[in-house]
A and B are shown apart, each in its own frame.
Chain A
Amino acid sequence: MKRREFLTSITALSVASTIPNMSQAEVVNGGQPWVPGNVKTPLAPPRKGGLQYLTQHEFDTVGAIAERFIPADETSLSGKDAGCAIFIDRQLAGDYGNAVAIYRLGRFVKGTPEQGPQSPLTPAQRYRLGIAALDKAMQQQYGKQFLSLSSELQDQVLSEMEKDALNLGEDVETRVLFELLLQNVREGFLSDPIYGGNKDMTSWKMIGFPGARYDFRDLLPKKGLKLNIIPTSLIDNTL
């Protein structure tokens, strides 16, 4: 078999990027350019310690919000204790937070609802502006930052945001910010622990999701039964 015409090394693959543009192969011919041992594994689990994007105050605020969205009870850890704020910090520091996959060229013009979001802001920028605007509004209304409000009051404020009934100033679309926070907290709670949230697979145990399992053939006869599968994560798979 003829060797491929030209194939640069694919050994130096970097960690997972949102945009798969890291491939080095340009001309492939005469077989598949498969190199043993080169698996594009997900990011290594975030290490403890320093924040990558959020300030400590923002981080604490996000943690407080995560705790209100997902309070602790007998079914799971709280969103905060599950690591949602760590998850969000790491996501905002990466491709997601920087809107790498999003089309950001041309004029930004407000259109119809059907035409979808038309904002130059990245998720990371929305957090920065949003938390500052939230604190400013809380200062004006209650004389305290969001973080210092009682949990009952925090719930009330979040409910107002959900109903788009809280004015956060010109730069922040309240409903968009709320949906972003809720989505990201849920992501942190429900995604694989390899991304920093869902500590001890707490959410998967709550809902009964088996996680990173790849073969259910042995369970096919147990249709409609409660299965009580012990979940597994990508962290286990990469050991």
Chain B
Amino acid sequence: MNNVRPKADVAIVGLGWCGSLIAEELSRAGLNVVAIERGPWFETSTDFPPSVDTDELRWDTRRSMLLPPAVETTTFRNNITQTALPSREWNLNELGYNVGGSGTHWAGMAWRFTPFDFEPYSQTIKRYGKSQIAKGVILQDWGITYDDLEPFYDRFEKIAGVSGKAGKLKGKIIPDGNPFEGNRSSEYPLPPLESMRLTDIFTEGAKKIGLHPFMVPAGQASRAYVNPLGVRMGPCTYCGYCLYYGCGNFSKSSPNACVIPALMQRENFTVLTDSAVVRVNTADDGKTATGVTYLDKNKKEWVQPADIVILSAFQLQNVRLLLLSKIGIPYNAVTKTGVVGRAYSFQTVSGAALYFRNENLNQFIGAGALSSQVDDWNGDNFDHTGLGFIGGAGILVVARGARPIGNADSLPPGTPRWGKDWKKAYTHAFQNATFIFGQGTSFSHEDYYLDLDPEYKDDNGNPLLRVTFDYNDNDRRSAKFIEEKSVEIGKSMGAEQVIGTNSASGSYSPYNFASDHTIGGAVMGTHPETSVVNRYQQCWDVHNLFVLGASSFPNNAGYNPTGTIGALSLWTAKAIIEQYLKNPGPLVKV
């Protein structure tokens, strides 16, 4: 017999960036909102104050803030002929497991995607013709444009207190900003972070070869700041404890620092913590959701009824919940039909390892997003004619803080890994070794997808999500290209040794820690045969179900996803408040 909670107007599954942003909008509009979060309550004062935060072993090496594979993992294979096996150990899937979600431990790179990234199909056809698209690549427009999303990017940046410098403001190119970015309606709310020795060398080296470096928009407050929700942020102290850490200074943009303090003041908002949603419940007609079923920490089953259900868990979890709930037609890789799990992709990373001769990079001073980048080879910012691929990468260096344990193998090739020679080499490398990171676009492919594993289950007895993935020809070619460009920049920076790196030169593995930006599987689009949700992230099949996050991306940009995830959540919130509430039903007719 189920335990049934009082009905809510809105049930939100997962209280990270997406969930907290939309909860803030919907509760401010007067709706009664219940968020259900798998992890525990988490906040700055008790969980990650400065006296607790500065601990590499606990937060980085042991991943203590992340969702443990023991609780939920994925199974993996490179292609459909293999048998998938569980990714048992910590791997690149870095899911959040607390109130705040992955937004608590993220690095803070707060990007907008380029206009091309939202319309890759039509822009590629227009500029290059169909022959530019590699065989099997799924290329489709999102059904939303950069211009549609611009006001919501703007709002997100103001809520998050993003520090940066506009490059294209109201049609004008601004020096030292990113000249390739989409047009902006206003400047960033805060000026860029201070540069570091590393970013200075990069900026210099990139300019020397005619590129256009700029400081990456950072979710670290460069000044004290009050956001539009009235929440105060403190100035970043450049401690370097960002990625895998919470921020003890209220400086890193996070749901915990920027949204939840305002949200928790609302009497019409409640969060249920330590509670894992296991499925979305649908009415007998299958066309409307009636609420969700979840297990509390004692594994007791509860039902939370609601008029609107919002999935805002991690991308992989959103897809898994749709599959477990039997909502939408699962993708079939043989017949190439179905949509749920289709257009899964990752991020193609290449770059270069750099070893300087005699630097004091002092990389322990920094911030998660303290970066200099060039976008000259990103998106469609350059002519791809004759290159055999589309896309590219943002190429950057990041002064992110030093990791004494984590960097112990960041050594020139051939260096001993232990003994006196290692000690000497590592001491030198600690100040002289760094890397150029090419964060590449990725395009999904018809052979690669997500579905439920036939064998392996979580400890609740529900099938794990199965990932079938490898890099496609388009992405391998772009990664090679970016590797070469990265080496060129590294040499221009004056590094003594520059060694190209390319995660797409072999087969994909979840243990290749190139990036954790997995995307797709419940993508947005213009037609129900090729997408799970419409341009408002509203499920085509179940109109009162909205699915938020990177699961909506049909292709990945050469950027971190969070800014776009945040903007899309605010865009969906507006559509619910202004359109859906007045006339509940599909917001897009086909």
Contacts and interface: CB of A to CB of B under 8 A. Distances in A.
Interface of A: 1-2, 5, 10, 16, 18-23, 25-35, 38-42, 68-71, 73, 75-76, 96, 100-107, 109, 111-118, 155, 158, 162, 182, 185-187, 190-192, 194-195, 203-204, 206-217, 219-220, 222-227, 234, 237-238
Nearest to A186: B408
Contacts of B46: 10, 34-35, 38-40
Given A1-B267, A28-B270, A190-B408, A234 B239 contact: no
9 closest cross-chain pairs (CB), A and B? A23-B40, A101-B68, A212-B54, A114-B509, A191-B57, A215-B237, A103-B69, A190-B404, A29-B270
Contacts of A212: 54-55
Given A39-B52, A112-B78, A195-B57, A102 B64 contact: no
Interface in B421-438: 422-424, 426-427, 430-431
A192 B97 contact: no
Task: Summarize A's interface: helix, strand, loop or mixed.
Answer: loop
B271 A102 contact: no
Contacts of A40: 46-47, 52
B508 interface: yes
Most buried by B among A22, A28, A210, A217: A28
Contacts, number: 268
B86 A187 contact: no
A112 B455 contact: no
B54 A214 contact: yes
Interface stretch (B173-181, B194-202, B488-496): B194-202
Nearest to A28: B271
20 contacts: A21-B297, A26-B272, A28-B272, A33-B41, A39-B49, A104-B88, A113-B509, A117-B88, A190-B408, A191-B55, A191-B404, A192-B54, A192-B55, A204-B404, A207-B430, A208-B427, A209-B430, A210-B364, A219-B362, A234-B54
B70 A16 contact: no
A116 B456 contact: no
A4 B273 CA distance: 13
Contact of B89 (A21, A27, A102, A155): A102
Interface stretch (B18-26, B412-420, B565-573): B412-420
Interface of B: 39-43, 45-47, 49-58, 61-65, 68-71, 73, 76-78, 82-91, 97-98, 194-197, 200, 235, 237-241, 248-249, 260-261, 264-265, 267, 269-275, 296-297, 359-362, 364-365, 402, 404-405, 408, 417-420, 422-424, 426-427, 430-431, 455-459, 507-511
Nearest to B46: A38
Contacts of A106: 86, 455-457
A183 to B, nearest CB: 8
B359 A224 contact: yes
A30 B69 contact: no
Contacts of A102: 68-70, 88-89
B394 to A, nearest CB: 24
Given A20-B40, A38-B46, A100-B68, A26 B273 contact: yes
Contacts of B240: 216
Nearest to B359: A224
A1 B269 CA distance: 12
Contact of B419 (A2, A38, A68, A186): A68
A55 to B, nearest CB: 24
Most buried by A among B51, B90, B271, B361: B51
B418 A223 contact: no
Contacts of B76: 114-116
A25 B99 CA distance: 11
A96 to B, nearest CB: 6
A115 to B, nearest CB: 5
Given A27-B270, A111-B83, A34 B54 contact: no
A238 B51 CA distance: 7
B61 A191 contact: yes
Nearest to A190: B404
A226 B62 contact: no
